[in-house]
Amino acid sequence: MSATRIRQQNLAAVVELLHHGGPQARAALTETTGLNRSTVGDLVAELVSHRLAEERAPDAARRAGRPSPVVALTSHAVAIAANPEVDALTVAAIGLDRTILARARIVWDAEASPALTATLLGEQVRSWRSTLLAGHRLVGAGIAVPGLVRADDGVVRDAPHLRWRDVPLAALVRRETGLSTGVGNDASLGALAEHRFGAARDADDVVYLNGGASGIGGGVIVGGVPLGGAGGYAGEFGQNRPGIEDAADRRVPGGVLEDEVNRTRLLTALELRDADDAELSRALGAADAPAALEEIERQRRILATALANAVNVLNPGVVVLGGFLASLAGRDLEGLAEDVRAQAMSACAEGLELRLASLADDRLLVGAAELAFAPVLADPLVETTVA
């Protein structure tokens, strides 16, 4: 810890507070950082001079005393966020103030190859650079991939849905875009997004489970920090084997959670062919056929055990459910919470809250952008653009 790093840390603390907590009075920053007024004033001035922040007229204060100017981050620093899926590549440009400056959905018919992904991203970035993003500063790219990702070098180990294996995606994208690029698992980035800006904003220990068409993904926040693990693969709840008390509840011998708690099975039981999550939620709410109700209850039983296992080990304050798991739980969220508490250690389940995910479609892009913003949040004055 050298004398120069102290500045870096303090600037980072201010930027992080603004990024997480949104615009706020300079006096509030003084309060929460514990730094001196004069120091905070200086820090903010430096951020303003680098166009990372702005000072605005004070809010209509109802307090005595001199009003404190409101400090807000700008959208000058921009991250490129991307999310490749089977049918399309979604790209967005997101400012440090979390405004979405641009967004594109590029549908692909042919196979979604990593090279194509990188090329399309490169083109999109070039196009935006000269138009919408002229004058902005691109700080990096973040990509949310539905699959296993090695955190340190951004290699996609296995994304079955996309049929990618051992793809050095970060390197490919860096070459095409000239941006320093981070790659992460989609569910882990969803967890990060829900923690920072969504349903679990107030909790520092969070378990997030997302039910997708292809399986169940998860992410964990521990003490406010994303849980990575030794290789960065942590959070694979979908491959767990939870206890199934009644053998008749088992559908797949030797199967895992996502074989049993499964979107397709749910659709079949509801006699639906194709449905998005909103339709599925409606159908679940309206279901009354005995076979459908039985399947719903079966999946809820197994999910409750899986959640209880997670709660015993991680003792989260909040569990967030997204995708079809939100639909499944939404029928009776408190009832599911009770089932979880009944199977978890009482102390671990004390004060546990189950919540539905709240960030809708932007979740993955917001999470991916966080990946790109990480260096800026750690050291706001770094120059990150690579090429």
Partner DNA sequence: ACCAATAAGTTGTGCTTCACAACATACTAC
Partner DNA sequence: GTAGTATGTTGTGAAGCACAACTTATTGGT
- Contacting positions for DNA (CB under 7 A): 1-4, 6-7, 10, 25-27, 30, 34-43, 58, 61-69
Question: Minimum distance from CB of 231 to a second copy (Å)?
Answer: 6
Q: Which of 345, 319, 294 minimizes the C-alpha distance to 235?
A: 319
Q: Select from DNA, a second copy, none the partner in contact with residue 297, using the beta carbon and a kind-dependent cut-off of 5 to 8 Å.
A: none
Residue 212 binds a second copy, judged by CB under 8 A: no
Residue 279 binds a second copy, judged by CB under 8 A: no
186-197 vs 363-378: helix crossing angle, rounded to 10: 70
Q: How is 69-87 classified by DSSP, letter by letter?
A: PEEEE-S-EEEEEEEE-SS
Q: Select from a second copy, DNA, none the partner in contact with residue 210, using the beta carbon and a kind-dependent cut-off of 5 to 8 Å.
A: none
* Contact between residue 371 and residue 165 where contact means Cβ atoms under 8 Å apart: no
Comparing CB distances to a second copy, the nearer of 260 and 277 is 260
Q: Select from DNA, a second copy, none the partner in contact with residue 158, using the beta carbon and a kind-dependent cut-off of 5 to 8 Å.
A: a second copy
Answer positive or negative: Cα dihedral of 373, 377, 383, 384.
Answer: negative
First to last CA, the chain: 30
Report the amino acid identity of residue 203.
A
CB 46: neighbour CB atoms within 10 A?
17
Question: Minimum distance from CB of 256 to a second copy (Å)?
Answer: 8
Residues in CB range of 241: below 8 A, 6 or more apart: 255, 256, 257
Residue 15 binds a second copy, judged by CB under 8 A: no
Residues 329-358 that bind a second copy (CB under 8 A): 343-348, 350-352
Question: Minimum distance from CB of 228 to a second copy (Å)?
Answer: 7
290-314 vs 333-343: helix crossing angle, rounded to 10: 50
Euclidean distance between CA atoms 196 and 370, whole angstroms: 9
Tokens of 20: 């997480």
* Window of 46-54, 86-94, 131-139, 230-238 that interacts with a second copy by CB under 8 A: 230-238
Comparing CB distances to DNA, the nearer of 43 and 329 is 43
Residues 231-250 that bind a second copy (CB under 8 A): 231-237, 239-245, 247
Question: Minimum distance from CB of 314 to a second copy (Å)?
Answer: 6
Residue 157 binds a second copy, judged by CB under 8 A: yes
Question: Minimum distance from CB of 358 to DNA (Å)?
Answer: 31
Contacts 24+ apart (CB under 8 A), 59-67: 59/25
Interior CA angle at 28 toward 4 and 357, to 5°? 100
Comparing CB distances to a second copy, the nearer of 5 and 126 is 5
Tokens of 113: 């190859």
Comparing CB distances to a second copy, the nearer of 90 and 262 is 262
Q: Select from DNA, a second copy, none the partner in contact with residue 68, using the beta carbon and a kind-dependent cut-off of 5 to 8 Å.
A: DNA
Parallel/antiparallel/unpaired status of strands 137-145 and 77-84: parallel
Bridge partners, residue 52, by sequence: none
DSSP state of 224: T
Residue 309 binds a second copy, judged by CB under 8 A: yes
Binding mask 312-331 for a second copy (x = CB under 8 A): xxxxxx--------------
Q: Select from a second copy, DNA, none the partner in contact with residue 4, using the beta carbon and a kind-dependent cut-off of 5 to 8 Å.
A: DNA
Kindly compute the dihedral angle of the four CA atoms of residues 193, 199, 200, 201, in this order, to the nearest 10 degrees. 80
Residue 225 binds a second copy, judged by CB under 8 A: yes
Question: Minimum distance from CB of 6 to DNA (Å)?
Answer: 5
Residues constituting the chain: 387
Binding residues for a second copy, rule: CB under 8 A, are 1-3, 6, 9-10, 13, 34-35, 148, 150, 157-158, 203-205, 218, 220, 222-223, 225, 227-237, 239-245, 247, 253-254, 305, 308-310, 312-317, 343-348, 350-352
